[in-house]
Structure 1
Amino acid sequence: MQLIIVDDEAHWVDNLSTTKPWHKLGIEHVHKAYSAQEALRIIETHPIDIVISDVLMPEMTGIELIGEIRKRDARIKCIILSGHSDFEYAKEALRNQAVDYLLKPPTDAELLGAVSAALEQLNAEWESVSSRERTEFTLRENLPLLRGQLLLNALHGERLPEEEWSRKLESYGLPIRFGECALLLVRLEEEFGQYRNNGQQLLEYAIVNIAEEIFGEHASVWSVKEDHGYLTFLLQLKESTEVGIEFVLEKLSMQLQAKVKQFLKGSVSIVTTDPFSFPAELAERYRHAVACFRQIVGEERDFVMRAVDQLRNVAQEPLEALHAPPGLGNLIEAGRWEAAERKLFDICSELEDKGAESWEHCLEAGYVIASSFAHFAHRNGQSLVSLIGEDMEPLQSGEAFASIGKLRSWSLGALVKLRDGTSKEVKDIRSVYVKKIQEFVELNLHMDVTLRALADHVNLHPTHLSKLYKIETGEGVSEYVSRLRMETACHKLKSTDKKVYEISSEIGYLDPAYFIKVFKRQYGVTPQEYREGKTTT
């Protein structure tokens, strides 16, 4: 938990922040602010939970500060301190949902009690958000999507530990267990093409319902629409049968075809697999079933076929490491360079396992890798040749794909250049933002140069801008603005005859008294004393 103390009287802020046992309440960090505006800047860049504020301050009262805080984060708890037992202030504080209204000086029991009450409210609210009931409700609402994604990931080759599989099957309420299963892939034929942009999802949903009704009597059913557009069903017989699962699947598949044609006026083609061990053999059998669909390139439609009949004709199997999620392009896009490097090593290792003579596999891997690299470069507004330089030549000549060793060497070298080239670009982009911010502040020091105003100027979120500026300069945005204001004030005091209140206005302090207070806190002397050459002793 983080807390901020706000008061224009510095001794109150310093005293309350340093002399109270905040750590015993679980407060990890206590921030200090000497004005409401400074408090708002801190709130925009830090996860503040509790605000303790004076009620009467220049520029903005504590009540007005609560109103501004509510616009930013309604969960923050506010406690008001006041030197006056004014009923109207207390009533306004309560109307703005302040936790408490304390008179200065508060006793430790009063102050710590108010903060404890605020912490209790926060804990109760967050426990409600993260409660088991709410989590279970959210899970139920998203269950179809979660079930589908789990099966889709498994079809693509994602491997989970046995205990993780057991946990997910149970928590998602899936009827499938480890053991013998079969797959069934359904392809909607051209009669349904007219619905592609209007009603396609309803048709697919109807087919899934019909399939679950037909197969559900004999088997547990788990379905998803996979990437090629096939409706995919994982089936597990509820009872053993003398005729075998293959015969049952063929019979039920024919029923599915008949009902789709009768009620939806269209045809479907179906490929089934022989029984296999779930989940270990799921991805392999799925790939075989998809390959079976690809091999039927003629006019044949409305068929039911076993994938095993086609396996003998599949001379080359796809590269599992190349196509298993997450893809190489996704890893590079996410900046996961080490994972991308491991992916390339895995691809080359699988190529070696399949035999060095498999030039087509090497060519396939090379094209996918080069395509991922080019896509990444173009997404970042650059050409691939500008990032990888001389490594472009073996790519263009095809030399990079001539052998597994050459592919490994080329792809790993090009990956390093991609990483280094875009890292420099990120730094350059940060420098551009810093330059824009500093130029804007220098020209508009007398106006609103809060973090939010600066973020709006460069079209970034305030939190992101704050982190970016800190990384690039080592200084916070608000620290830079405050420092520039003080340095400008010093320069104007020494080089001009302007009044103190004029300088105060020109550097963004509307209240000269507050400017004098801030200046003295910074330099130990008032602006006038500084102009006269006096220094602290």
Structure 2
Amino acid sequence: MYRLLVVDDEAYALKSIMETVNWRSLGISEVYGAMDVEEARIIFCDQRIDVVICDIEMPGENGLELLEWLNQEQFSASVIFVTGHDRFEYVQAALRAGCFDYMLKPVRHELLLETVARSLRKLEQDREHNLLKRRMGKFEKVLRHHKQELVERFWNDVLYPAGKTPNNEALLSQLSLMEPDAADSGEFMLVLVSISGWKARFGIKDEEILEYAVMNRAEETVLENWPGAVLKSRNGELFIVVYHAQEQGRSIAELRRRCMGLVEDCGVYFYSRVKCYISLPGALCTLGSRSASLLKLERECAGDMKDVWVEGEQAHQMPEQLFGRKDWPAEIALLLQKGRHAELYQAVDEWFASYDKENPLSKEDLKALYYHLLSSLYQSFNQSGISIGYVIDAINVKREGSAPCTKSLAHLRLWTRQVIEMAIEHAANQKESEPTIVEQIEQYVKSRMSEEVSREEIASLLHFNPAYLSRLFKKETGSSLTDYIVSQRMEYAKKLLSQSDLKVSDVAEITGYSNFSYFSRLFKKQEGYSPIEFRKRYKGEAGI
């Protein structure tokens, strides 16, 4: 069933159109009347109107201004102008603004009925089209979600191949089906993005959000106008894959420059210490061995000051007799995750004890062992969701003036135990105390219900880029920051409407909306009822 609104400042004309035309023959169940534009606006805020029959010249605002308002507020009603003025500029302005038809008074009721019938048919076609568009949008969203899962699974299989080297042509064919941009790509380049620590204290949840921000920034800064992908592997590493690496302009030098930009941006905007490790160009089937090579390079370069490395470059090397033969215990990460700290310290002590049996280590050996330990500690704790960047900085400050941790094996053992103890304590304290970024946003919004609150204001308060803050909030909550602000205000409005006798216009102002009609429309869109209807229903159900 449909609803019709007639707007005319002449009472006789208004009553004639409302009462003498057989509107029910068109399925119109409700007919409303308004004698000016302001009255029409109020009706629009309270009811879903399908068709408007409107005069143009009226005291105060005219019909064209009403149509302009309907367009601005995105109402989907069909507008038919019925007027006694045949001025060309009126006709031109009405058609340009999107009215369905323009009729001159006096108009025969049969012709008016036919025109409204045509407008309803057009309205139904538009609504069916919009419904189909929304359904297609949902379908595309589902497809994108599943496509993302397939793409991530594909890259994990490529980066961590099981068994023999996969066939390059088969891999290319499979990738091209999911990523058309990768079709006929001869060579690929791989970048390992390593977050080695944070410059400020963050909870585990916030670190996950910031890691997501780093991935977004990598897509914008490193890939930019290049086809490729940014992904998180099943082991937690962040990788960038550059397609068509053989194309002109996609050189190692240019990729290094872009990675330097990513490192700088992450330090400024996301308080993170980032290093990038770039592979040489190669076929798709070689990316598994190249990822292993980059991970090895990451271990070797953990303590080096250099931020961007290319496969084949040399860092501090552990002597052959130290590296590999007694590598860092693999169970460290597992013991951390399960909270079995006594066994953890025992495993560390046994590892150091194995070196006590060797000939005394040289200064170079101890320094190499330190870098290896640094990398291993980062990896073990990151796998357990604990960041130790802040802890290592704190310990280094605490040890200022003391003997360096590389002075002897005993000093290195003490340093390692201090790092582990403080990291575990730091992680426990974070879980109990500091609110996450999302919690800080929620607290701020709830404390300023009557004020205009923008994402730019919140971003400035938390020292974040507004666009990134919105993405991070949506990733964590599933809702955009703007939608969250609206939903909280609507909840507050519902509370005021149900528990007080305040005017609806006062409720609108208290919840931060100076424009009553906008508040009313937004409330109805959110709750399914106008504020007035909501109050009536609530008080009716409550027997008030």
TM-score, length-scaled by structure 2: 0.37
Greater RCO (CA < 8 Å, at least 6 residues apart): 2
